[in-house]
Structure 1
């Protein structure tokens, strides 16, 4: 039964995540964290951060790891297959339709409408992560990291993966310093 749940969760996210891997992440979050409760928000955001640093499609990386974590090798296989199948099916169907009717206004409108919808979905997920980081870091630290991240990525043009690795290293050293202080205080 768990394999079926894994398949359905990632199939739904893949089927409804029109617009690319990033647009399916909020759907994957809903399935993994809210519907099936396989992990909490913090675990999901850790997986998202790590998946962003690795090469390849983010959906398959995340679904593969989550499937592995929930049900081992066969859970990983179910999750990856469920993630890939909708993309293949939809690519064949939608591109055939778009190609056949690309001069029609409704097709052009549909194509233009996808971008803001995906943006709203990503914005909602981002805002949810910002609110949750307030609880763990506080508003001031969250805003500082947010502003610095925007400056580094948008103004300086640094790749997000480099920023994420830098933040992970900083967090690792920060925790190590806290452990060292605790040991000295003991």
Structure 2
């Protein structure tokens, strides 16, 4: 624990399950829909906690490209240079701050606790600073700031604005014969 005698706060089971799903997807290329049900069963997570874990995992993955753009604007280095364990915790925090009705102080606090548990005290302090920057704006403001103009890069514009992977938007463009104008409306 980096020389600290402090015991990390317990991470609630729903958030830990969602985090473990993100790690499995990132580390092993696992399918979230196959990993999550087993984790919920194995850990005895049911009812509202299971629903929350499900939304955290699937929602974070669904919006990951957009959240990565937001986080990239809030860190002092390229996001792919942030430790993957910390990056996944930050993604969960971003989802709670930008898409769920989790109070800012609660979302930051529990995500910092998670970062501390999985990465240590220094990364937890880094997570605190990054998440406070994320919380400074709502999702539509972040999207407006970070999305390139449609005319400059229609694929990047639609991918970021609508939370689709670039490859999906590019495939749609190809299927439509190169015309994405209808989808932009």
Q: Which category of TM-score, normalised to the shorter sequence, fits these structures?
A: 0.3 to 0.5
Structure whose CA Rg is larger: 1
Give the number of the structure whose residues are more often helix, by fraction: 1
Q: Relative contact order, CA 8 A, sep 6+: which one is greater?
A: 1
Report the TM-score when normalising by structure 1. Answer: 0.33
